[in-house]
Chains A and B, each alone.
Chain A
Amino acid sequence: MEIDKVLEELKVIMVERLKFEPSRLPDLSLATVLPKDIEGSLGLDSLDFIELSIGIEERFGFVIDEAQDLEAHFQSLGTLVEYIKSRLADR
């Protein structure tokens, strides 16, 4: 799956599961930082990350069960896209 396609799918998850305002979607890019408490980030909290995990599992069809490095994969939309691509490639 191409980077743009994965990013678009993530944006759908943001709107449908995280109740993200659709009008803000054009502001999202691979550089967008996700966790709260980081300046300029989307401000996702722990509940958002649960919703995001569920949405990714459902939409991309793999199980998030890594014991290592998950936090790094979910730092930005860019790192998340790369993570999803690598998981899809492993199948």
Chain B
Amino acid sequence: MPAERAVIQKAMTRFTGVTGSDLDTLTVRVFTDFAMCFSDLVSTNRQLATLRTSHVGNVEGVERLASLSGGLISLTAHVGNWELAGRLLAGKSARPTHVVVSPDEARELQRWVRRDGEGVRFVSRSRPTVSLELFAALRRGEVVGVQGDRALGTRGDVEVPFFGRPARFPLGPFLLSSGAGVPLLPAFCILDAQYRYVVKIAEPFIAVRGEEEAAARTWVAALEAIVREYPTQWFNFFDIWEPFDQ
């Protein structure tokens, strides 16, 4: 996978500043961390919810989730075991959770990791009207889980500095937040040194009507902080700064 290796090296250089053999070590670590997280995802998805929680050491900021009522957008990224985090958070909420996935992901991974149930429903964003379903779900007080680190390559992207260089991020979650008047809750699921997962829930915030780009910058700052702390657990195997040039 030379192309993926090259973009990971570029990203690691920007995230950490390392070069030479240290850069090679970090690059390999990205792939091993990804393998660990993905295999855990496949195996835990086949387990009962009660067993699944045994893989999680701590949920930092869970009180932030408990303090929120009504509709909510759980905003995450391809960091650590984001899918496991989604199921865990859904299990802690009495509200149905609609997880937005790309059409390709839904088709190729459905059998292994996109299993509806336990309050989670996967929604492909292949149809433009999917935003209607999500908007209505938020109006009903339900949860929408969405990845905030994959640009669409459409007018639905916004450019935000990421590690000092402009990168594109999806604007949709912030338009949903401002339109439905519901908070965004950044959440990440990190593999720790003891190979247990730590869920980190950041401070919730609401996108203000007309100021969705500012909300996107708030999100990107949260993403940048977690990637800075865990650079080998951000699993973006393409160039975040030039995603559509490849």
Contact = CB atoms under 8 A, between A and B. Distances in A.
Interface of A: 35-37, 44-51, 53-54, 63-67, 70-71, 74
Contacts of A46: 125, 128-131, 156, 172
18 contacts: A45-B154, A45-B156, A46-B129, A46-B172, A47-B172, A48-B128, A49-B131, A50-B131, A50-B172, A50-B175, A51-B175, A53-B131, A53-B132, A53-B136, A64-B135, A64-B139, A65-B140, A70-B133
Given A35-B129, A70-B132, A71-B129, A47 B139 contact: no
B90 to A, nearest CB: 17
B127 interface: yes
A65 B176 contact: no
B155 interface: yes
Interface of B is mostly: helix
Interface residues of B, number: 21
Interface in B132-174: 132-133, 135-137, 139-140, 154-156, 171-172
Interface in B67-101: none
Contacts of B129: 35, 46, 49, 70-71, 74
A63 B139 CA distance: 7
B179 A53 contact: yes
Contacts of B132: 49-50, 53, 64, 70-71, 74
B148 to A, nearest CB: 15
B135 A66 contact: no
A37 B128 contact: yes
A51 B128 CA distance: 12
A38 to B, nearest CB: 10
Nearest to A54: B179
Contacts of A37: 128
B136 A70 contact: yes
A64 B135 CA distance: 8
B176 A36 contact: no
A50 B131 CA distance: 6
A51 B156 CA distance: 12
A40 to B, nearest CB: 15
Contacts of A65: 136, 139-140
Contacts of A54: 179
A67 to B, nearest CB: 7
Contacts of A48: 128
A35 B128 contact: yes
A53 B134 CA distance: 11
